[in-house]
Structure 1
Amino acid sequence: MRVLIAGDSHLARPVRGGWSIAPGAVSVAVGGSVATDLPCQVATLDPSAYDVVVVSIGTNDAGWREVPLEEFRAAVSGFLSWAGQTPVLLMTSPGCDESRASGHWSDARLRAYADAAAEAVTRAGGSVLSTPSVLAPLGAAAFVEDGFHLTPAAYDLLLPALAEAARATGRSR
């Protein structure tokens, strides 16, 4: 399966750690990215070359970069237009451990952005993986000291779930 990975550090970090959701997956994800950065990540790519596009976006939008929700929605919509007929799988923001995250992040705000992205992706015919649901068994242990990046234990749960969801979402060739 040909997989394109885009978005923020939640999907950029596994690649740097040597993990992936599919053999040969192409990652253009960059830490710190927001939805308005997605066009730069995929500018030279043809979405039809992939069976599925996996994207993680929303954490930085809702947090330290403070992208207005309407601007976020418009950027997600633009990304979905770029993807065209290629199925999109959204990995929602995992939320945060508010006791350790700086004042930039709150679970309520992260959920609002995750819900907005999920609504757009679902409306466009894509799929959504609820990252908080996958990571729930770990509780606060899903997050490193900063309270919003994920631990290796979190990726041990998340990456297999993403791989399964990508297979279910992607088109067969």
Structure 2
Amino acid sequence: MIKKVTLALTLALTASLASAATTATAADHPVREIWGKGKEACPKQAVCLYQDSDYNNDSHDGRGRRIWVITGSTTTIPGGDNEASSVYANIDFPYSSVELYEHHDFGGRYVTNTGGSERGTLKGVHVTPSGDGWAVNFNDTISSVKFTRYDEGF
């Protein structure tokens, strides 16, 4: 009888700890999704990726569209992979810039944005490495984001 109670308590505790660990991980992720429009919807020290061009200002229902608020480097953008059509970098010290990559894990070409920079559209942007030097369509392409601090250099 004691073995059964001990086993039941052990299983319940294990399930509780696993659930708490999952919750903590989700809460600590640097990406959260909100609904809104305009640059004013982007909090300080964040980079906001907007579902539509012009910072979702053209949404027909008046309430905006999805915005992915990113507060730190992330190798993926849950729910927002390859979805962004405009971006606002509402960052300042200690961050010097943010790079928006076309692939997960900071892979492929990227666009660099400094604090306060804004791109109402991701069509016709210059990327690194550029290869041919032409502007490219980066609309619905961003898959990871890397923040750079001033003390890390460019």
- TM-score with structure 1 length normalisation? 0.26
Larger radius of gyration: 2
- TM-score with structure 2 length normalisation? 0.28
